Amino acid sequence: MFRKILIANRGEIACRVIDTARAMGVRVVAVYSDADAGARHVQMADEAVHIGGAAPKESYLRGEAIIEAARATGAEAVHPGYGFLSENPDFVEAVEAAGLVFIGPSAEAIRAMGLKDAAKALMEEAGVPVVPGYHGEAQDDLATRAGEIGYPVLIKAVAGGGGKGMRRVDRAEDFADALASAQGEAATAFGNDAVLIEKYVSTPRHIEVQVFGDGEKAVHLFERDCSLQRRHQKVIEEAPAPGMTEEMRAAMGQAAVRAAEAIGYKGAGTVEFIVDASDGLRADRFYFMEMNTRLQVEHPVTEAITGVDLVEWQLRVAAGEPLPKAQDDLSIQGHAFEARLYAEDVPKGFLPATGTLTHLAFPAGVRADTGVREGDEISPWYDPMIAKLITHGATREIALAKLEQALAHTQVAGSVTNLAFLRALARHEGFGRGEVDTGLIDREVEALSVAPVPCSRCRAVAAVGAMEMDADVVQGFSLWAPLEHSVTLAFEGEPELLKVSVEGEGRATVVSDAATHEVTWGAVGWAVDGTPVPAEVVRHDAGLSVFWGNNYHFTLPDPLDVSTGPGASAGQVVAPMPGLVKAVFVKAGAEVAAGDRLAVLEAMKMEHVLTAGRDGKVAEVLAEAGAQVEAGAALIVLEEEG
Ligand code: ADP
């Protein structure tokens, strides 16, 4: 076995590989870009080498820099993860030329599957069923070909990936436009505008088979169903495929093994099939689409049902060991799901988002593969995936219920996410029955994308949370009566004023324009109007979040916050309106930080917390508790800055 390997990747997959390497006693070298100097994968690794700028082409795509890092650190092998250089045959050759082991297939095998048209021709020869269509070299007269195949057809870039350069065409009159746009996109994305044409399979399901080869022989580790897609991108994956028959599983497994053996495949790979499910799953209705010559994002569902650690297998086979198990020793235990948690704005058309994760927590007992920690940034440089949540159960129903609960208890603040969308999918009735096809999400995207809005009970809890977590104010509360406090909460930028009247320890009445609620809190949790509720409240740098089935994020604008007013810059805290000073929390000489609570003013029957506008030392306190003050009166003066 290797003593030390280098991981030519970042994010969750780098962390995932480190976990297994560590468990095998293999030391790990990470590489990182400017943007990732403090990233989780760098922290986890034994050593880390800086390889360049934030843009992938300045770092994670710089093969020579990565090979140089491996040499400099004495790593013996390179694990490519997925994406970046993982399917680049030139990189594989360069790694090998440097005397290092590439943990993956040969450059030749990658090339054989690199272009969709050549791969289809090769598979046809190997007796693997392919989608009816045209994948010849000639690119003239494609419209005639499409007509012969029969509409609807799918135009695909031969160099394609990630759904790019792909267009579905339903009618002959739309063909020319679709072709031009597919070619344009392909030229830009892949520098190759050649396309192929396929029959568009009706009621399509995406079912792929995990294979593993030793360079000659291969085994398969059963199928994954990745039919829940949006714009040809996978959203939730599962294994095994719902409705799969033993006959079809055997046929697909054998076809996948034939595909892998036809190219002398070594390592982990995936053979993707499109299945015509218009008539249920039938052993004669699956067609080869492409082979991904690397570890897939969704590999954990296969690990969950087979008990195999695919990264361990990758390292062992790359180190020269035989395949760890024979086909007959592999079997399926139960069912597994994976959901991809992304920083993206679903109601805004799944717009990728960025942000600092001011709070991040995953439920216990669920596999969460992630490359980020609380406080980390989702930057615009890389894929905005936050984590993959994987659940496993004895049956599909149990595994799906666990997924739904895992999503309900995942807490992310600081960026918008697709959590609510994923949870809506996990609760979708048709999906629950296993009725999946690649069009499901598109057909129902509107209902699935509805952003949850906090009810008045949730807002009441948030208001108490905002007040309760302010230790100074709470202490102050026990001293003053009437114990009334006003809280302004903004949800999606919409401010709402709530009045919180503390009735006793852990008990308050919250009044808003919409409703009045009795809220209690304490060691046993929250209750609203006498009913316990499973809410959790977290205060963080971006505001306050209530986690209650969904994630509800509030900001806490203080409409009367004078810290940003003119007095603040002058180092003064002034009364924003006439009122009674209820408490002063500082004395002359005290060091304060921007945002610290300095005093409480009661005005118009509400209490207003006055905060420091900047860091500094208190020069003078001009008002005592109990004093009646005029609007604009200076209450506290800070020393001059200098
Ligand atoms: P890419 O490499 O760009 O991801 P694929 O060939 O893997 O492209 O196809 C992506 C997705 O497009 C598939 O998962 C499937 O949902 C859909 N698809 C591909 N080929 C067909 C087809 N012939 N008929 C219907 N849907 C298809």
DSSP annotation string for 419-485: HHHHHHHHT-HHHHTT---TTHHHHTHHHHTPPP---HHHHHHHHHHHHHT-HHHHHHHTT-SS-EE
Query: Is the model's pLDDT at 466 over the cut of 80?
Result: yes
pLDDT for position 247: 97
pLDDT for position 474: 43
pLDDT for position 472: 45
Lowest mean pLDDT among 61-65, 420-424, 458-462, 496-500: 496-500
State which of 202, 203, 206 you would mutate to test the pocket of ligand 1, scoring each by most atoms of that ligand within 8 A of its C-beta: 206
- Nearest 5°: the CA angle 601, 604, 606 is 55
Sheet arrangement for strand 494-504:
531-533, 526-528, 516-520, 507-511, 494-504, 484-491, 550-555, 543-548, 536-540
Distance 353 CA to ligand 1 centre (A): 26
pTM (2 d.p.)? 0.85
Distance 289 CA to ligand 1 centre (A): 7
Distance 90 CA to ligand 1 centre (A): 26
Distance 148 CA to ligand 1 centre (A): 20
CA dihedral angle for residue 621, residue 625, residue 627, residue 633, rounded to 10 degrees: 40
Tell the residue nearest (CA) to atom 12 of ligand 1.
Answer: 232
For the segment 196-211, the average pLDDT, to the nearest whole number, is 96
Distance 270 CA to ligand 1 centre (A): 14
Residue keyed to tokens 């599957």: 113
Distance 411 CA to ligand 1 centre (A): 33
As a whole-number percent, the residues of the chain with pLDDT over 70 amount to 95
For the segment 176-189, the average pLDDT, to the nearest whole number, is 94
Query: Is the model's pLDDT at 476 over the cut of 50?
Result: no
Task: Write the pLDDT tens digit of every residue in 217-246.
Answer: 999 999 999 999 998 899 999 999 999 999
Q: Band the pLDDT of 140: cuts 50, 70, 90.
A: very high
pLDDT for position 136: 92
| Inter-CA distances, 280 with 21, 204, 285, 437, 584, Å | 41, 11, 9, 11, 73
Nearby residues of 131 by Cβ (< 8 Å), 6 or more positions away: 120, 198, 199, 201, 274, 287, 288, 289
Query: Is the model's pLDDT at 482 over the cut of 60?
Result: no
Q: Can you tell me which atom of ligand 1 is nearest the CA of 201? A: 24
Nearby residues of 469 by Cβ (< 8 Å), 6 or more positions away: 537, 539, 544
Pairs from 522-526 (Cβ < 8 Å, separation ≥ 24): 526/461
Distance 422 CA to ligand 1 centre (A): 22
- Six-digit token pair at 365? 């007992």
State which of 232, 237, 273 you would mutate to test the pocket of ligand 1, scoring each by most atoms of that ligand within 8 A of its C-beta: 232
Estimate to the nearest angstrom the gap between the alpha carbon of 315 and the chain centroid: 26
pLDDT for position 480: 40
Tell the residue nearest (CA) to atom 17 of ligand 1.
Answer: 232
Lowest mean pLDDT among 373-387, 465-479, 514-528, 575-589: 465-479
For the segment 570-580, the average pLDDT, to the nearest whole number, is 78
State which of 115, 116, 196, 438 you would mutate to test the pocket of ligand 1, scoring each by most atoms of that ligand within 8 A of its C-beta: 438
- Six-digit token pair at 58? 């300045």
Q: Among 28, 9, 10, which Cα is nearest to 19's?
A: 28
For the segment 524-544, the average pLDDT, to the nearest whole number, is 94
Per the document, the length of the chain is 642
Distance 284 CA to ligand 1 centre (A): 18
Nearby residues of 31 by Cβ (< 8 Å), 6 or more positions away: 6, 7, 8, 10, 48, 49, 50, 51, 59, 60, 65, 66, 69
Whole-angstrom distance, CA of residue 560 vs CA of residue 174: 59
Query: Is the model's pLDDT at 13 over the cut of 70?
Result: yes
Residue keyed to tokens 């976990």: 19
Question: Which residues carry out catalysis?
Answer: 294
Whole-angstrom distance, CA of residue 218 vs CA of residue 256: 9
Q: Can you tell me which atom of ligand 1 is nearest the CA of 166? A: 3
pLDDT for position 481: 43
For the segment 194-212, the average pLDDT, to the nearest whole number, is 96
Q: Can you tell me which atom of ligand 1 is nearest the CA of 438? A: 16
Whole-angstrom distance, CA of residue 248 vs CA of residue 243: 10
State which of 274, 298, 436 you would mutate to test the pocket of ligand 1, scoring each by most atoms of that ligand within 8 A of its C-beta: 274
Provide residues with CB under 6 Å of ligand 1.
131, 154, 156, 160-164, 166, 198-201, 204, 206, 229, 232, 272, 274, 289-290, 438
Q: Band the pLDDT of 567: cuts 50, 70, 90.
A: very low
Tell the residue nearest (CA) to atom 6 of ligand 1.
Answer: 289
Q: Band the pLDDT of 562: cuts 50, 70, 90.
A: very low
Average pLDDT, the chain: 92
Q: Band the pLDDT of 570: cuts 50, 70, 90.
A: low
Tell the residue nearest (CA) to atom 11 of ligand 1.
Answer: 232
pLDDT for position 71: 98
Lowest mean pLDDT among 183-197, 497-511, 553-567, 570-584: 553-567
Q: Band the pLDDT of 470: cuts 50, 70, 90.
A: low
Whole-angstrom distance, CA of residue 586 vs CA of residue 599: 8
| Inter-CA distances, 133 with 118, 175, 286, Å | 13, 15, 14
Tell the residue nearest (CA) to atom 1 of ligand 1.
Answer: 161
- Six-digit token pair at 7? 């991981």
Q: What share of the chain is helix, strand, coil (3-state, %, to 5)?
A: 30, 35, 40
Query: Is the model's pLDDT at 605 over the cut of 90?
Result: no
- Domains of the chain, each with CATH number or no CATH: 4-103 (3.40.50.20), 116-131+204-333 (3.30.470.20), 133-199 (3.30.1490.20), 334-451 (3.30.470.20), 456-554 (no CATH), 572-638 (2.40.50.100)
Tell the residue nearest (CA) to atom 22 of ligand 1.
Answer: 200
Lowest mean pLDDT among 292-301, 453-462, 535-544, 625-634: 625-634
Q: Can you tell me which atom of ligand 1 is nearest the CA of 232? A: 11
Q: Band the pLDDT of 630: cuts 50, 70, 90.
A: confident
